[in-house]
Amino acid sequence: MDKNFVALRIIELMESKSMTEYGLSSALGRSNSYINKIVSQQAYPSMESFFDICDIFQITPADFFNSDISLNDEKFTNFLNTARTLNKDDLNLIMTLTDRLSKKPADTQKK
Tens digits of residue pLDDT in 27-50: 999 998 999 999 999 999 999 999
Q: Is residue 96 part of a domain?
A: yes
Q: Are 61 and 80 in the same domain?
A: no
| pTM for the whole structure | 0.66
Domain that holds residue 99: 74-104
Q: Are 12 and 51 in the same domain?
A: yes
Number of domains in the chain: 2
- pLDDT category at 104 given cuts 50, 70, 90 is low
Looking at residue 99, its amino acid is D
Q: Is 81 strand, coil or helix?
A: helix
Distance between CA atoms of 28 and 24, rounded to whole angstroms?
6
Task: Report pLDDT for 107.
Answer: 52
Q: Are 60 and 9 in the same domain?
A: yes
Q: Are 81 and 60 in the same domain?
A: no
